Amino acid sequence: MSDETNARTPLHAAHLRAGGRMVPFAGWEMPVQYSGVMDEHRAVRSAAGLFDVSHMGEVRVTGPGAEAFLQSLTPNDVAKLAPQRVHYTALLTEQGTYIDDLLIYRESDDVFLLVVNAANVESDFAWIARHAPRDVTVENVSAEFALLALQGPMAQSILQGLTATELAPIRYYGFRRGEVSGRPAIVSRTGYTGEDGFELYVAPDDAEALWNALLAAGGDRGLVPAGLGARDTLRLEAAMALYGHELDRETTPWDARLDWTVKLDCGDFIGREALVAAKAAGARKKLVGFEVRGRGIAREGCAAFGPDGAIGRVTSGTFSPTLERALGMAYLAPEWSEIGREFEIDVRGRRLPAEVVKLPFYRRPS
Amino acid sequence: MDPESCQYSKEHEWFYLEDDTCVMGITEFAQDELGEVVFVELPEVGTEVEAGNEIGTIESVKAVSEVFTAISGVVVEVNELLKDMPEKINEDPLGEGWLAKIKLSAPSELDQLMDAKQYAEFTAHG
């Protein structure tokens, strides 16, 4: 059932050996699950999971003008980003809507690494390169990296056994260059699951040895390989946006409740003018969390209704393995976005009752 | 249910004849493809169904899948256990995870279905 036109990560053989069920995703052949989405999800919440996210793209931006360039390209404050720190930001159109969401890693004053969604690598790279001034070099370095995500409460203790880099001092959204299992790696305290954890950027040739070393080191502490299925249910419980679902070219950071990623007081950036105007005009739609009050799952694309007609659309929906109920996120008309509002969702011609609830659905115990 | 004694549809349902009534469910292959089942919607007892009709849905974390009947008749019983324990479909799709019992109106329809050997070949090459 594999599709020959899709790219394979350096861990392809390891996935097959682990019983991974491979599916096409954003031009890649990726494991959607191994033992099962629920099991893998619960392992990440209670112990740890290991994900292959090598499909993500990396773009290196370097040069004396790199900081000023990224400041003019993205809405978050790059000047405030210290070396060895990461922040979450966006590429926006002139209309202030999402071309992509991304992480920016600052390695030094003049060296940045941008991590972008797999489906958007080529178009992001073209957009960034097109806007770059002469004193900035932009390179698509996606082929230089495999990316492993070790996520869950046991992540630090498992990883610490394999690296001399002291992990405890690395704060959330901090990173170091070091070695893991004798192989050079960027060790980043980031993730997409709502748990503590690390993302490890390594050379493709080192990926499989590292994958095996991590599973061997973590097996007795409950570490299991986890697929894209669990990645999606985990990020959804944590209310983290996914490009193509919550974020797209019709959506601004205001709509998506990502106001904190936009700094209007640190110079001009692409989309700023439109965002200022949009703020003054008031919200057009609001991203909300909802729980289904009936039996069934309201998935992406389902229409939402009030008594007088359509009020919005579901962007992501699933059955939550942690809360054991159907939930999701939706864009609703602003007057419907209050916590506790009851509405209906059309699921294959049947109306399911739903209620707006507070996000995130899940927050890890601190 | 003994898998050797069941008849199978291309939609991956099994049918097992007991007198004039057929028990049906989804196959091991189908439950494995679907993953962990979390909701099951079944027809009401007394519903008249025709071969090819959609009679319910099975939802897993990953996807929703329609249940079709390959036989015509009247639904005489549905598996109420699945309301609270939908995971029975994963654990025992040919036993405790059965879906419905249908009183046949056209028993010859069963002859159109695959036997166990044919179904094994179908899933191997399908």
Q: Nearest CA of chain B to the CA of A235: how many Å? A: 14
Chain A with chain B: Cβ pairs closer than 8 A: 35
The pLDDT, as a whole number, for residue A4 is 60
The pLDDT, as a whole number, for residue B62 is 86
Q: Do A296 and B59 touch (CB under 8 A)?
A: yes
* Rounded CA Rg of chain B: 13
CA angle B120, B122, B124 (to 5 degrees): 70
The residue of chain A with its CA nearest to that of B56 is A348
Residue A32 contacts B, CB cutoff 8 Å = yes
Residue B32 contacts A, CB cutoff 8 Å = no
The span from the CA of B125 to the CA of B33, in Å, is 15
The residue of chain A with its CA nearest to that of B39 is A296
Taking only the tens place, the pLDDT of each residue in B59-91 is 999 889 999 999 999 999 999 999 999 999 999
The pLDDT, as a whole number, for residue A1 is 47
Residue B64 contacts A, CB cutoff 8 Å = yes
The residue of chain B with its CA nearest to that of A40 is B36
Residue B54 contacts A, CB cutoff 8 Å = no
pLDDT range class, residue A314, cuts 50, 70, 90: very high
B41 found inside a domain: yes
The pLDDT, as a whole number, for residue B126 is 56
B124 found inside a domain: no
For chain B positions 10-29, those within 8 Å of chain A (CB to CB) are: none
Residue B36 contacts A, CB cutoff 8 Å = yes
- What letter would DSSP give residue A129? H
For residue A119, pLDDT beyond 70: yes
Pairing of strands A7-8, A28-33: parallel
Taking only the tens place, the pLDDT of each residue in A251-275 is 999 999 999 999 999 999 999 999 9
B96 found inside a domain: yes
The pLDDT, as a whole number, for residue A366 is 77
| CATH number of the domain bearing residue B85 | 2.40.50.100
- Enumerate domains of chain A plus CATH numbers: 7-54+145-237 (3.30.1360.120), 57-142 (3.30.70.1400)
* A235: three-class secondary structure by DSSP: helix
Distances A174 to A27, A107, A157, A244, B54 between C-alpha atoms, Å: 30, 11, 17, 27, 52
For the whole prediction, is pTM greater than 0.95? no
B120 found inside a domain: no
B83 found inside a domain: yes
B23 found inside a domain: yes
| Region A20-30 average pLDDT | 96
The pLDDT, as a whole number, for residue B96 is 97
Residue B91 contacts A, CB cutoff 8 Å = no
The helix (H) or strand (E) run that includes residue A343 is strand A342-347
Residue A173 contacts B, CB cutoff 8 Å = no
For residue B125, pLDDT beyond 80: no
Residue A236 contacts B, CB cutoff 8 Å = no
Residue A294 contacts B, CB cutoff 8 Å = no
Residue with tokens 């939609």: B11
The boundaries of the domain holding residue B86 are 3-106
The pLDDT, as a whole number, for residue A137 is 98
The pLDDT, as a whole number, for residue A2 is 47
Residue B96 contacts A, CB cutoff 8 Å = no
The pLDDT, as a whole number, for residue A294 is 86
Q: Do A296 and B41 touch (CB under 8 A)?
A: yes
Q: Nearest CA of chain B to the CA of A320: how many Å? A: 8
Distances A122 to A29, A125, A137, A250 between C-alpha atoms, Å: 18, 5, 16, 20
Report the residue from B36, B41, B57 with minimal CB separation from A37: B36
The pLDDT, as a whole number, for residue B21 is 96
B121 found inside a domain: no
For residue A125, pLDDT beyond 70: yes
Report the residue from A32, A37, A295 with minimal CB separation from B39: A295
| Region A308-325 average pLDDT | 97
Taking only the tens place, the pLDDT of each residue in A157-182 is 999 999 999 999 999 999 999 999 99
B113 found inside a domain: no
The residue of chain A with its CA nearest to that of B31 is A36
DSSP string computed for B69-107: -SS-EEEEEE-THHHH-TTHHHH-TTTTT--EEEEES-G
The helix (H) or strand (E) run that includes residue A29 is strand A28-33
The span from the CA of A335 to the CA of A155, in Å, is 41
What average pLDDT does chain A have?
Answer: 97
Q: Check: CB of residue B55 under 8 Å from CB of residue B49.
A: yes
Contacts of A321 in chain B (CB under 8 A): 61
**Could you give the number of structural domains in chain B?**
1
The pLDDT, as a whole number, for residue A29 is 97
Report the residue from B39, B62, B64 with minimal CB separation from A37: B62
The residue of chain A with its CA nearest to that of B38 is A319
| Region A180-198 average pLDDT | 98
Q: Nearest CA of chain B to the CA of A24: how many Å? A: 14
